[in-house]
Amino acid sequence: MVGGGFAGTGPATGRADNEVERRMIVSHVLGGLGNQMFQYAFGRYLADRLDQPFYLDLRHFADYDLHAYQLDYFPHRGLPLPSELADRCPRAFSGWRVRAAALVPRPLRRRLRLVRERPFGFDPRYLRAAPNSYLWGYWQSERFFPGHRERILRDFAFDESRLSAATRRVAEQIGRRPSVFLHVRRGDYVTDPAARRVYLQMDRDYYRQALTALQQQVPGLQAFVFTNDPAWCHEHLDLGTPLEIVDHNTAATCQEDLYLMSRCRFAIIANSTFSWWGAYLIQDPGAAVYCPSRWTYPETGRDDRHLAVDSWRRIEVTT
């Protein structure tokens, strides 16, 4: 939903380089690495389309304990929002606050226009956002950055000189034979009651169905498992074929798991933005990606139809 925010109260000087007059696109960034990458990608697309500087509002990480900011691992083009521009950022107002904001005289409103993803899901109107927009949402679809794949791949390139020795060893294994990664997302999907009500659990049948379909086309396939619950996978993920469970990385080094995923030729992702990006970053021309047909329970009302890239192969999952 595109809405207005309150504007700064300082008078405009008319100077093109004055902070009040400066045009920009600002992305509110929060969440895990996969979410951070989507928030970056949509902002990058709009900033390029509108030919404006692109800033990342990272202030909410100061009191956010679930995840750390990790985009600076990549050579991206976003700039941290300077503190002197922070008062131009709107809050995510809703309801009566939005109506009240509309009554404030225009010269007194904040000068960044709030573009809020409400409800969740793709809508082409977001792509028509105006200059001086502040983006607040998840933006989880390639449709939020059409025609930008090559730029995004450059922005999310990996510096192989920074990889650990363990990651290098696994990368060598991946390169020896045709490889597929399976991503098993558990964690809060299992332990958090609120998350359990929203996100489907991908069971063994999902992974077995996707892996069997791929093995019929690719003989000699080797499979690597990436997960935030290695112990569960060791004990329960029996798919009738050898699996190499990669468990040497932590939340602090998860970008190295992302690198290893991108080195595989094939992917079987979970309903997770992290493995979405692992698959998206694969550049092998013969790549194939399998994904769940749904990410969330239908009763949540979430529109997850556009999460998968059009060329990906959907596996039906039960709800």
The DSSP annotation for 157-220 comes to ---GGG--HHHHHHHHHHHHS-EEEEEE--THHHH-HHHHHHBPP--HHHHHHHHHHHHTTSTT
What are residue 113's DSSP bridge partners?
A: 133
Question: What are the extents of the domains in the chain?
Answer: 2-152, 163-315
What rounded mean pLDDT belongs to the chain? Answer: 88
Q: pLDDT, tens digit, for every residue of 175-214?
A: 999 999 999 999 889 999 999 999 999 999 999 999 999 9
Stretch 287-296: mean pLDDT, rounded? 97
Chain CA centroid to CA 32, Å: 8
Indicate the residue type of 243. Answer: L
**The pLDDT of residue 19:** 44
Q: pLDDT, tens digit, for every residue of 63-102?
A: 888 899 999 999 999 999 999 999 899 875 444 444 444 4
Return the structure tokens found at 149. 């794949």
CA atoms of 313 and 97, how far apart (whole Å): 43
Statement: residue 292 has pLDDT above 80: yes
Return the structure tokens found at 58. 């990272």
- The structure's pTM equals 0.88
Size (the chain), residues: 319
Q: pLDDT, tens digit, for every residue of 104-142?
A: 444 444 579 999 999 999 999 999 999 999 999 999 999
H or E segment and range at residue 130:
none
163-315 CATH: 3.40.50
| 3-state SS assignment for residue 142 | helix
**The pLDDT of residue 124:** 96
**The pLDDT of residue 110:** 56
Contact call for residues 78 and 39 (beta carbons, < 8 A): no
